[in-house]
Structure 1
Amino acid sequence: MKHQMWPACGAVISLLLAGGSPAALAAQPSLSSNVTLASEYVSRGVRQSWGRPALQSGLDWTAPSGWFAGIWTSTVDKRFAEKAHGEIDLYGGYLRQLDTGSLSAALYYYRYPGGANLDYGELSLGANWRALYAKVNLSYTPRFFGIADARGSVYIDTGANLEAGEDWTINLHAGSGQLAGRGNAVWDWRDAKLGLARKLGSGWSTALAWTRAWGSSGAYAHYVSAQRGPDGRPLATDAGAGTFVLSVSRTY
């Protein structure tokens, strides 16, 4: 069932590359960078820094034609991402501007240096219309964050970024992940986020969000780490527990 989505993906990519009259893009290629300090690193509702603060940074290149590429990094906790020294996301793709929105296609590869076979890749297809957005992410690697035989796993990301007065934005998100492969459905999950962001000027911004994940089994609510505590017992946490995340960012 999940693999039937691939023909539809091909149709979307064809539409992206088709001729037409897209809205004007930037006249010259641009290069920007960003740094973020967050009270915790939460990705798709899952807490990846074990409740600790995270330092994150990114570098983005954008061409007038719509092509883009970038790199994003974050600290992680070895109790969640086994043996990993951090996370490095590499990506590149194409963005087609429309009158009231956009279409995009991109390849992502997530690296966890030193990690225990945690690396994986995704094809991401997205659409924006005014304040609304939707993305479908399909894994193209045999593993999905250490889970074997999971090629074809799907994560659907939907939401809205609503303007709420000058410099204020309300962020709404709902996601759903389904793991491919025999026996991997125990890792399926859903997540949601409600946030408020504000631009502070001179490239600074801040955001506060509440996020939560719900697993199809107890795999996230009783996430057991490969790391052991002083008593020799494996450490455990609720990796999808509801939490508030406060962040401060600077874009250059």
Structure 2
Amino acid sequence: MKLQHTTFRPLILLAAMASLPALAEDSPHTFTGNVSITSDYVFRGISQTGGDPAIQGGFDYTHSSGFYLGTWGSNVGWIEDYQSYQSGNLELDLYGGFRGGFGETGITYDLGIASYFYPGEANGAVDADTTEIYAALGWKWFTAKYYYSISDETFGFANSDGSDYLDLSASLPVGETGLTLGAHWGTFSFQNNDAQDYNDWKVSATYDMSKLSKVMSGVTLGVAYSDTDADGGDGTAASAPWTDQNGQDLGDGTAIVWVSKAL
């Protein structure tokens, strides 16, 4: 897939953010950013780029009260290859919410809303833009997060408001080595589109490169394996759910490698 100039809009935003004057250390306002390159953009077990690489980035604002806002973007391929848009190779996300904890219990919470936008020419296809509300609870290394779609057309499926996704994840740091091991299981249920329902799972490992050198501060190297039980095609035609126009099974098991930099 050829990456067009729209792919780099998130990076332009990050560059602008980096030029902002530093805030006082005791300020309640925090701005952070990130940029990454990945061998395959996989979202909830489904490849968004058809196995091609992606350039991604975003930035976040957080207030000491727990309120936060953020944006994130990536190039994608499924809008044209699966959704039949005449043009469109960008995903742009906007999200916000409130997070905090329950005293000294170690239990955390996160409540918010996220919108996923896919600019492009739909050419009569079902609109892929989606908005979800979400709620999460965490304890130590474990997190449970529930997403509920309030869009009539959830990721391009008509009459699908009320679709939901449950994400169960664990992230375990290995001592002071800089290595973190992760595991995830999720289940996606589509309202009025039961044939699209599926489960996905992933195992991962990330390494903090600053453990090797201070000049690598903020750089993380990651590797993962993701798979689903989504109903894919036989490689010859887009005749089954989660198969693109080239017959590629977008939910097939795949290994992913990425490198990211916190700004």
Residues 1:145 and 2:151 aligned together: no
Name the TM-score, length of structure 1 as normaliser.
0.81
For 2:149 and 2:195, the matched residues in 1 are separated by 17
CA apart distance, 1:27: 5.8
Q: What corresponds to 1:178 in structure 2? A: 189
The residue that corresponds to 1:75 in the other structure is: 75
TM-score by length of 2: 0.78
Cα distance in 2 between the residues matched to 1:203 and 1:111: 28
Residues 187-198 of structure 1: pairs in structure 2 closer than 5 A = 187-198=196-207
Number of matched pairs: 217
CA contact (8 A) 2:168 2:186 kept: yes
**TM-superposed deviation, 1:147:** 0.5
Segments of 5+ residues of structure 1 without an aligned counterpart are: 1-25, 226-233
Kindly indicate whether the alpha-carbon contact (under 8 Å) linking 2:196 and 2:230 is maintained by their aligned counterparts in 1. yes
Query: What is the CA distance between 1:97 and its match in structure 2?
Result: 2.1
Give the distance between the partners of 2:33 and 2:251, measured in 1 at CA: 30
In the alignment, does 2:27 pair up with 1:34?
A: no
Matches within 5 A, 1:1-252: 28-77=28-77, 78-80=80-82, 82=85, 83-98=87-102, 99=104, 100-114=106-120, 116=122, 117-165=127-175, 166-181=177-192, 184-201=193-210, 202-215=217-230, 223-225=242-244, 234-252=245-263
Looking at structure 2, the residues matched to 101 and 206 of structure 1 have their Cα atoms a distance apart, in angstroms, of 28
1:187 offset after TM fit, Å? Answer: 0.6
Offset from partner CA, 1:88-132 (integer Å, 9 cap, x none): 010000002233131011100000000531101000100100000
Change in CA separation of 1:211 and 1:150 when aligned onto 2, cut-off 3 Å? same
Deviations 1:59-92 (A, max 9, x none): 1000000000000001101324543221001000
Contact 2:232 2:250 in 1 (8 A): no
Task: State the alpha-carbon separation in 2 of the partners of residues 224 and 172 from structure 1.
Answer: 25
- Residues 37, 247 of structure 1: 8 Å contact kept: yes
Point out where structure 2 has 5 or more consecutive residues left out of the alignment. Answer: 1-25, 211-216
Per-residue Cα deviation, 1:134-182 (whole angstroms, up to 9, x for no partner)? 000000011101101100001000010011132111010000000012x
The RMSD of aligned alpha carbons is 1.9
- Quick one: which amino acid aligns to residue 123 of structure 1? I
Name the SS of the counterpart of 1:186 in structure 2: helix
Deviations 1:25-48 (A, max 9, x none): x86210001001000000000011
Shift of 1:223: 3.8
The AA in structure 2 aligned to 1:91 is Y
